[in-house]
Structure 1
């Protein structure tokens, strides 16, 4: 049967593309050398192989290929970093050339108006926005502004656990969302909040885009073209109204608006909205997930929880005299260690937002071309026996050392290098006060008929319990303490 002219043209085109790829690969291999490469398909490489979320998959690949492995994602090259040593060597010690971002036109330009700091390259614009966020979130007056929000919301959290223990996961969500809404916009939030629900839906969809290298926003998320302006502008308008009436609480947005009006900050309206968006996305789900993981760990490994309660009882009373507060932090290093182990044990970000190399570089016999993407393989890092002996076990005592000096030391949950999360203090404090109060007030028991599979992801479980757990107040006195608050 004779082939049609169109079929012949397609065949010729396929041969040309194939030959071009083979020649390009030979030229590339003669100049560069990359870590072991996962076998993939012609042209698309590993685009169909990398799952979302990729934590367990990445851990298995790390066991097979070692400290680094390479994936081809269409025309892009991504190197996964699987040990603390290589992450530190490249993303921290060589941060000057490993801190940019790959260009993602759909995520950054279409969905974010080119203004999302998280996706910006290593530029003056990025540095300027990061400096603004750092000055407001981590300045001298930051804690005095934000801690009252956290201490108010944790009282609601323990109340929710007492009265609806089977809804603990939604209580964690309400706590985390209300804290970050208070920090950003100066208002509390409830789970039934329609405006907040819209923002959370956006965050879930955009989170899949950010942390899955194989999502195609054109095909799957075209409606994001119209966001986030209408959603976040609603909150800014409501806040401006409270400011004009003199009823606004000091928060991140009031500081940003005031700084902009005084010409201290040079930001467009879109940039301001995207800063609010970034903070909300980073601050809500991360705290919720960490608190939920802590509950799972307390049920699955009750020994450490008993130790934590002994420390809390010594300070706050064996008979439920008072709730822990931030004033107790210096006297409760074990609770800080609990938070660090929570962040280490099951990272809420399973693979990081990729960094991009800005110039060719040589490392331990490998030669990386400029433009190579690098991501830290969070699950592989957290389960690396060389860095964390008996890594699958939840053991806060591994952090009773110099790691307590900084919220960032000893784990990778807030990122690394120059791209570390600017709101790490707020995030760490959220989990600290929640852990202290929940451990002081409640016992957590694993359901023997439904043991907790702690390796399975739980961060995207928002409508059903991520695992079975029995929650009850430690005593009637603890229940009465909660009711009084």
Structure 2
């Protein structure tokens, strides 16, 4: 037997390494690169070229580092057509760039595009598999059944009363500390959801509010942000081969503990029989609704509802201020509509009951959400079956993503802020004609609450305050995740009469002292 020489051993090593790499490649192959059962190739929309194994993942991750760069990247994806295919790790993404294809694939085919993909980190380690927005359909269905109770007519009327009260404290806060306008937005949005879900007016101190906001931001920014969620099979490795676990388990523990500080007092009040009406008392923990989840799942359902229902309105309100600075004419027109109903001399504050008489304000709400979507891309919908659509065939497992930035540009003169584009008789339906709240069966169940919340906030702020830039402003850089002022703004009361109206209403509603104390 002739012993192996150097080059023979080298050939064996190369052969083994090649086989291993090929096995890895096949394991991590995205759905559209796998052959169909009949041997045909899938017909996918065009998209940018990528690298072996990683595809377009590195390009996407670079773009995510900055909100302006991500916006440019998503707009560029729209240049490939109505749909764009990306290979990201072991996943196939198809970005939906126009309203038409979103309607066709997310709304009309919701029975097979309703699933969520595997996200072992953001859904698993960080959320402990308890955030229902990322649940697979069987578990999501039970949470959805619970949250549908938020949409009853009697509940919405009660929510409106609470929104009006909390918005008055926001206006008074504007007077007391105008430089913290962005914090008043956050307190208003959180306090509304706190009252609805947990039953009490918001009395939490600033550190607790900041902690909740940190939890919300960390969770949202974790989606589609880590390597493992793009290669989910890595989560099947033995734990000692998962060096990322320690970091994300720690983050998940922090999120859990933060939720627990808000949850415990509510549970205790319900047990003592002293809890006021709330989503938790009357729905989640009510024996009549027969919620099948355990206590931890109930806690995440409640606090996730608070977080989701407060963060998106906060971002929309910040975008509203930017639009008011950059496009003053529509806001002057909106103020004329308000003056016709409420009087130019500060006779009364606009109310939710005025919505039918203020269609332009309702259209302005929709235009803010279109002009600067609160989500650049809606979390992906995964298909459970192969799909044939026009000239394309998509394999099961394809992840469809509403490209919020490209869809927001699917309008004439899209860069202009023009509420008139929504003056079509559907002003009062916030989900008609735009996709900020997602679509299909996964559409955000709280959109009606958000609609009245934003209508009330925008109407009262336009009626009572003026905005001006207090420094350099870039309209696409909203810096939603910063803890400080996102962009420099000078806020001032519209007149002495409007200031006195706010103070009178704040005293009547007994929120003036709370506004003076701050949060």
Q: TM-score, normalised to structure 1's length?
A: 0.90
Aligned to 1:439: 462
Tell me the equivalent position of 1:462.
Answer: 483
Confirm or deny: 8 A CA contact 1:345 1:392 kept in the other structure: yes
Q: Residue 141 of structure 1 aligns to a residue in which SS?
A: helix
Counterpart-to-counterpart distance in 2, 1:101 and 1:257: 23
Task: Work out whether 1:155 is the aligned partner of 2:168.
Answer: yes
Aligned mates of 2:350, 2:261 — CA distance in 1: 36
1:255 aligns with 2:273: no
**Deviates further, 287-296 or 22-31:** 22-31
Q: How does 1:72-87 map to 2 (within 5 A)?
A: 72-87=87-102
**CA RMSD between the two structures:** 2.7
Deviation of 1:339 (Å): 0.7
State how 1:103-252 maps to structure 2 within 5 Å: 103-123=118-138, 125-135=139-149, 137-189=150-202, 192-210=205-223, 212=225, 218=245, 221-226=248-253, 228-252=255-279
Residue pair 1:191, 1:197 contacting (<8 A) in 2 also: no
Q: 2:21 aligns with which of 3, 13, 17?
A: 17
Match of 1:399 among 422, 427, 434: 422
* Matched residue, 2:52: 42
Q: 1:161 to 1:215 in 2, by over 3 A?
A: farther
Structure 2 unaligned blocks of 5 or more? 230-243, 507-519
Question: Is 2:369 the partner of 1:359?
Answer: no
* Structure-2 change in CA distance of 1:14 and 1:226 (3 Å): farther
1:471 aligns with 2:475: no
1:245 positional shift: 5.0
**Closer, same or farther in 2 for the Cα pair 1:368/1:165, shift >3 Å?**
same
Compute the displacement of 1:151 (Å).
Answer: 1.1
TM-score (norm 2): 0.85
Q: Quick one: structure 1 residues 280 and 10, their matched pair in 2 at CA, closer, same or farther if it must change by over 3 Å? A: farther
**Farther-moved stretch of structure 1 (157-166 vs 472-481):** 157-166
Partner secondary structure for residue 148 of structure 1:
helix
The Cα shift of 1:210 comes to 2.1
Work out whether residues 330 and 418 of structure 2, in 8 Å CA contact, stay in contact via their aligned partners in 1: yes
| Residues 443 and 472 in structure 1, CA contact (< 8 A), matched pair in contact too | yes
- 1:106 Cα offset (Å): 2.4
- How many aligned residue pairs are there? 476
243 and 269 in structure 1: CA distance in 2 versus 1, 3 angstrom threshold:
closer
CA distance in 2, matches of 1:391, 1:212: 29
Q: Report if the CA contact (8 A) 1:312-1:332 is conserved.
A: yes
CA 1:271–1:156: 2 relative to 1, 3 Å: same
